[in-house]
Amino acid sequence: MEELSSVIAQMGDIYGSTKICLPWEDDSCLYLEPGLTEIMADSTNYTERLFVWEEWRRVVGQQIKPLYVRYVELKNKLAVLNGFSDLGDEWRSRYETDDFESDILALYTQLEPIYKELHAYIRRKLYDVYGPDYIDLRGPLPAHLLSDMWGRFWNNLYKIAEPFSGKPAIDPSPAMKEQNYTVLKMFHTGDDFYAAMGLYRVPDTFWELSMLEKPDDGREVICHATAWDFYDAKDYRIRMCTRDFNFEDLNTIHHELGHIQYDQHYKTLPQVYRDGANDGFHEAIGELMAMAGATPSPPLLYWTSG
């Protein structure tokens, strides 16, 4: 366990501390967050996006690879000691189904028609921006053009994929700036959201011990937003490099506070039960709360209702 913890810590340090230097700018070396993340969110320069996408993976991946190989070995050994054939078997067992792969395939089959329509729509919008040299109207979507470092969330594509021009914006970041939605106000807004439903507020220690903004003292930190339960029924924290007046970050706050809310609701249970039903369930709670918090109807839309 000591070696496993060390390997995880080393990978985290590499992930959070690696900088990528941009050849088109003198003395411009950026961390993943916020620098490279902002390029992937905002740039429409194909070459720039491709360089950032590939270079970050090359530099980080080469350093992490030997550690990750050892991580897989250790996690598989631990899973075998716990009675599973390997780590994948242990992960799948948490979903309590004998045919997990078929269950997921069935879900995908239900989504496939709208999934393909969405891809076709985005493909055409990308074609309009980048042209036939880069976008094949019958081919796959280039992942480095999909608005973040993983091609995962497409919300930053809205400015090129807006379906109805002239309609009210779905991103209220400008209104948030007008109403001075600082990082702290954004977190209090999220806390108020849960309290308004009769749920737990975060404890005082949350405000004292969480890292809600990127430190300005030169420390190298992992900025990827995560929620933490310290399993003492009172210490819950979030680590996040939150940006002022940013709707995407406000949405993430609601998601991460959903984890904290879930943690607080099983805080009185024995230690073995202080976890989600499975790995997907915790994320489902967070996403549900984030979607509810982003729904543009009173009383959830704090940034327009004041």
Task: Express each pLDDT in 107-138 by its tens digit.
Answer: 999 999 999 999 999 999 999 999 999 999 99
Cis ω before 34 (30° cut-off from 0): yes
Cα-Cα-Cα-Cα dihedral sign, residues 42, 47, 48, 52? positive
Residue 292 reports pLDDT greater than 90? no
Q: Does the pLDDT of residue 302 top 50, yes or no? A: no
Q: How confident is the model at residue 153 (pLDDT cuts 50, 70, 90)?
A: confident
Q: For residue 303, is pLDDT > 60?
A: no
- Per-residue pLDDT, averaged over 11-31, amounts to 87
Give the amino acid at 121.
Y
Task: Determine the pLDDT at residue 190.
Answer: 93
Confidence of residue 301 (pLDDT cuts 50, 70, 90): very low
Report whether 97 contacts 107 (CB < 8 A): no
Residue with tokens 């109807």: 297
- Check residues 151 and 84 and name the one with the higher pLDDT: 84
Cα–Cα dist 219/209, whole Å: 16
More confident residue, 256 or 223: 256
What mean pLDDT do residues 225-240 have? 92
- Contacts made by residues 78-83, CB under 8 angstroms, sequence distance 24+: 78/1, 78/4
User: What pTM, to 2 d.p., does this model score?
Assistant: 0.77
Q: Residue for token digits 């108020």?
A: 192
pLDDT at 94: 86
Tell me: pLDDT of 306 over 80. no
> Measuring CA to CA, how many Å separate 39 from each of 49, 90, 174, 235, 246?
7, 38, 20, 35, 16
Q: Is the pLDDT of residue 98 over 60?
A: yes
3-state secondary structure 116-181: HHHHHHHHHHHHHHHCCCCCCCCCCCCHHHCCCCCCCCCHHHHHHHCCCCCCCCCCCHHHHHHCCC
Q: Determine contact, residues 50/144, Cβ cutoff 8 Å.
A: yes
Q: Is the pLDDT of residue 1 over 90?
A: no
Average pLDDT over residues 220-241: 89
